[in-house]
Amino acid sequence: MTQQNKAGANRRSKVGDPAQAKQEQLAASTTDTVAPLTTNQGLQIPDNHNSLKAGVRGPSLLEDFILREKITHFDHERIPERVVHARGSAAHGYFEVYKSMSQFTCASFLQDPAVRTPVFVRFSTVAGSRGSADTVRDVRGFAVKFYTQQGNYDLVGNNIPVFFIQDAMKFPDLIHAVKPEPHNEMPQAASAHDTFWDFASLMPETTHMLMWAMSDRAIPRSLRMMEGFGVHTFRFVNARGESHFVKFHWKPKLGIHSLAWDEAQKLAGKDADFHRRDLWDAIEAGNFPEWELGVQIVPPEKEHAFGFDLLDPTKLIPEEMVPVQRIGRMVLNRNPDNFFAETEQVAFHPGHVVPGIDFSNDPLLQGRLFSYTDTQISRLGGANFHELPINKAVCPFHNFQRDGMHRQSIARGQVAYEPNSLGEGKEFRVDGGSAGFQSFPEEIDPPKVRRRSPSFDDHFTQARLFFNSQSVPEKEHIVAAFRFELSKVELPAVRQRMVDNLAHVDEKLARRVAEALGINEPDAKAAAGRAGFRERRDAMPIDESRALSMAESGDGSIKTRKIAILMADGVDSAALKPIREALEQAGAQCKVVAARLGTVASASKRQLEVDVTFVNTPSVAFDAVLLPAGAESAKALAANGDAVHFVLEAFKHCKAICAVGEGVQLLASLGVGNDPKAAPAGVVVAATPVTNLGDASAATQIAHDFVAAIARHRHWDRSGIDAVPA
């Protein structure tokens, strides 16, 4: 087998069973096939444990170039982290368009459904450092690099369709306010502190995005279960040079789902890599995450028809006003080979466009067009970062740019300028014609001004639209999030200013938030009159937009959902088997959770393998809990504080719970689901006598009900959770 084939075989078998792949890999690596360890100059290293010394107990010798090279390289392993979006996780995949979009754009990757365009996608949090936790409350970056035949196209978006500010001039202020405070570098990866809310409360244009950031959108269950948005209005340009405005969307196949806030906070400690691991594991297991690319297309004559400005990045176009057309799909099917070389060194840029896609005059987008190359030059050590393998275009590229730090390519010949008569000049011709990138020739002849357009003035109508569009539990979560964040603000005046602003969104929301904060009733008038408080109550023709809520989202499947089966010795394995099989058939991943690793002996003396323990993988790592039958097992679980906490916590976090036989008594002893006729939302109880559970139809019914409960993700409307001590 060639090296390449071997690598391919490993990757394929890895998808099936990672442990087996590892075995195969080890078996394949005999000393004959493994390359010798060398220095960077290719010199074989005789001993990788001992430095060169003057005698076995003597001092090390400066002459030891092998040690010097190893340590010098190590000393320089770190590069600066991204100034924002430092923590990220990425994957390779492909994009394919459903049908030609030539009516609107000449972008080559949007023409032919037979063409698969490779992509590399990096998801990120914004505020935290590289090593911060995944599940913090934050916006998520959603950056896609399409390696098209016309050059790389980067759609550098977020999981929230609007932004905090309207003009790039305020970006450094926003980021300085949200990052850890400069005097003591606290808090890490959190917006719940004085400087963020001080800034936010003084900048009413942040209000719409604050509503999203305080919603459950900012604590996704999985990177695979969040939407993506291009945020700004862009332009599509077709081969005839006609332009339409366009907004980009990514719609996840698995729906949009989130964590509970308490769960997110606990996960930050229990598994700081929760999202990274979830993405990695799904791809390794062959459960490839998928999104559809959606576009909202607006003809030029409708530019001013919406009551808000399409160039204002704090506004979205409700889907009821312009439907989202799904034009293609993206599948992520390969994990990176090397985190640093790919996820860390990838360099995105909203200015990397291809013919057929162009910019609008959104002043936030315009500022971004400068920032990204600039930041890469310092982060990636010079102007040649486009030559790094992960950033390199797949189509040929050549020009007269030369040299610079870390230049890889060797340009031949005498000539590095144009026009010239010394070189052949053939290769680097400049086509003035249609082949090159053509900017849309928008007519512009204005005076220079440093001013905001009055059409950007209304900061509350869409914030209100968002709030009105949420389900009752979603609204409750927003109230709780504002309370939490503002309760961490030490200065009461900042808390007050913020709730005064919120009164412009919704009186009741503001009052509910204020109640918990030891401040005065919100006073909308206190803020009125300040810049940015012009209201346009007539601005939106609709009051609610279903697409803004996460409720009822998803394809109804339970694929990749994680189910904890809690057990101890004496579990009824016969009754469990058909339920477990039904869950696995539906695509869920079941794990046996017990007090210790090893095996559990069932009531019929079968040994069942334990996957994880209550302590090493707590309830927050699961989507649902199954309490099987078996008197001894249920008794042992009831006597184990970790197991009891596991169940109560899952209940408090509104997860689906299924209890069977004696598992029902266990649940009832914890004060949950005492009345089988009125089980709390998402709790499936089957008190059926154990003997009957071998009966396929009873088991099928329980499994069916449990699957339906899991498919609803979380039962946010579950009552009585506040009293649960977990």
- Residues assigned a catalytic role: 85, 158
Q: How many residues does the chain have?
A: 726
> Which residue has tokens 């869950």?
583
Q: Which is nearer to ligand HDE, 207 or 633 (CB)?
A: 207
Separation CA 569–CA 592 (nearest Å): 12
- Binding ligand HDE (rule: CB under 6 A), the pick from 147, 348, 482, 651 is 348
339 near ligand HDE (CB under 6 A): no
Q: In the sheet where 562-566 sits, what is the strand order? A: 612-613, 589-594, 562-566, 624-627, 656-660, 683-686
Nearest to 41 by CA among 63, 62, 70, 61: 70
- Binding ligand HDE (rule: CB under 6 A), the pick from 122, 244, 504, 580 is 122
Give the nearest distance from C-beta 225 to ligand HDE in angstroms.
18
Q: Which is nearer to ligand HDE, 463 or 634 (CB)?
A: 463
Give the nearest distance from C-beta 324 to ligand HDE in angstroms.
17
168 near ligand HDE (CB under 6 A): yes
Separation CA 643–CA 619 (nearest Å): 9
236 near ligand HDE (CB under 6 A): no
State how beta strands 562-566 and 589-594 pair: parallel
Give the nearest distance from C-beta 615 to ligand HDE in angstroms.
34
Phi, psi of 11 (to 5 degrees): -65, -40
Q: In the numeric block, which tokens belong to residue 369?
A: 């067009």
Give the nearest distance from C-beta 436 to ligand HDE in angstroms.
26
Q: Which is nearer to ligand HDE, 371 or 669 (CB)?
A: 371
In this chain, which stretch among 130-138, 341-349, 506-514, 652-660 interacts with ligand HDE, using CB under 6 A?
Answer: 341-349
Q: Give start and end residues of each alpha helix (H) in 363-426.
A: 363-379
Number of amino acids touching ligand HDE (CB under 6 A): 26
**Residue 90 DSSP SS3:** strand
Mark 281-320 with x for binding to ligand HDE (rule: CB under 6 A) and - for no binding: ----------------------------------------
- Binding ligand HDE (rule: CB under 6 A), the pick from 153, 163, 212, 706 is 163
E strands of 276-324, at which residues? 290-298
In this chain, which stretch among 26-34, 363-371, 520-528, 618-626 interacts with ligand HDE, using CB under 6 A?
Answer: 363-371
Report the residue closest to ligand HDE, judged by CB. 141
Q: Which is nearer to ligand HDE, 147 or 651 (CB)?
A: 147
Phi, psi of 97 (to 5 degrees): -85, 145
157 near ligand HDE (CB under 6 A): yes
Separation CA 285–CA 72 (nearest Å): 38
Q: In the numeric block, which tokens belong to residue 699?
A: 């088991």
Q: Which is nearer to ligand HDE, 233 or 602 (CB)?
A: 233
State how beta strands 357-359 and 234-237 pair: antiparallel
Q: Which is nearer to ligand HDE, 84 or 593 (CB)?
A: 84
Q: Which is nearer to ligand HDE, 372 or 428 (CB)?
A: 372
143 near ligand HDE (CB under 6 A): yes
391 near ligand HDE (CB under 6 A): no
Judge residue 468's burial from the number of C-beta atoms within 10 Å of its C-beta, 0-12 exposed, 13-18 middle, 19 or more buried. Answer: middle
Give the nearest distance from C-beta 88 to ligand HDE in angstroms.
5
Separation CA 146–CA 121 (nearest Å): 9
Q: In the numeric block, which tokens belong to residue 639?
A: 């006597």
Q: In the numeric block, which tokens belong to residue 411?
A: 């340009």
In this chain, which stretch among 80-88, 526-534, 563-571, 671-679 interacts with ligand HDE, using CB under 6 A?
Answer: 80-88
82 near ligand HDE (CB under 6 A): yes
8 A C-beta contact, residue 589 and residue 565 = no
Give the nearest distance from C-beta 27 to ligand HDE in angstroms.
37
- Binding ligand HDE (rule: CB under 6 A), the pick from 98, 288, 372, 440 is 372
Secondary structure, 3-state, 233-285? CEEEECCCCCEEEEEEEEEECCCCCECCHHHHHHHHHHCCCHHHHHHHHHHHC
71 near ligand HDE (CB under 6 A): no
Give the nearest distance from C-beta 174 to ligand HDE in angstroms.
8
128 near ligand HDE (CB under 6 A): no
- Binding ligand HDE (rule: CB under 6 A), the pick from 171, 288, 428, 533 is 171
- Binding ligand HDE (rule: CB under 6 A), the pick from 270, 276, 368, 475 is 368
Nearest to 357 by CA among 310, 304, 297: 297
351 near ligand HDE (CB under 6 A): no
Separation CA 374–CA 355 (nearest Å): 23
In this chain, which stretch among 130-138, 331-339, 340-348, 385-393 interacts with ligand HDE, using CB under 6 A?
Answer: 340-348
Mark 183-222 with x for binding to ligand HDE (rule: CB under 6 A) and - for no binding: ----------------------------------------
Q: Which is nearer to ligand HDE, 313 or 673 (CB)?
A: 313
- The sign of the CA dihedral 699, 705, 707, 709 is negative
Phi, psi of 596 (to 5 degrees): -150, 160
8 A C-beta contact, residue 214 and residue 206 = no
State how beta strands 624-627 and 612-613 pair: unpaired
In this chain, which stretch among 288-296, 371-379, 483-491, 493-501 interacts with ligand HDE, using CB under 6 A?
Answer: 371-379
146 near ligand HDE (CB under 6 A): no
E strands of 74-214, at which residues? 88-97, 117-125, 140-148, 151-158
Give the nearest distance from C-beta 171 to ligand HDE in angstroms.
4
367 near ligand HDE (CB under 6 A): yes
Give the nearest distance from C-beta 598 to ligand HDE in angstroms.
42
Q: Which is nearer to ligand HDE, 371 or 613 (CB)?
A: 371
Distances (CA, A) of 100 to 112, 272, 334: 6, 42, 26
Give the nearest distance from C-beta 140 to ligand HDE in angstroms.
8
- Binding ligand HDE (rule: CB under 6 A), the pick from 371, 438, 553, 674 is 371
Contacts of 660 (CB under 8 A, 6+ apart): 572, 575, 576, 579, 626, 627, 628, 629, 685, 686, 688, 693, 702
Q: From the centroid of its chain, how far is CA 648?
A: 28
- Binding ligand HDE (rule: CB under 6 A), the pick from 141, 204, 294, 532 is 141
- Binding ligand HDE (rule: CB under 6 A), the pick from 110, 119, 136, 231 is 231
Give the nearest distance from C-beta 153 to ligand HDE in angstroms.
14
**Which residues of this chain interact with ligand HDE, rule CB under 6 A?**
82-85, 88, 122, 124, 141, 143, 156-158, 163, 168, 171, 231, 346-348, 364, 367-368, 371-372, 375-376
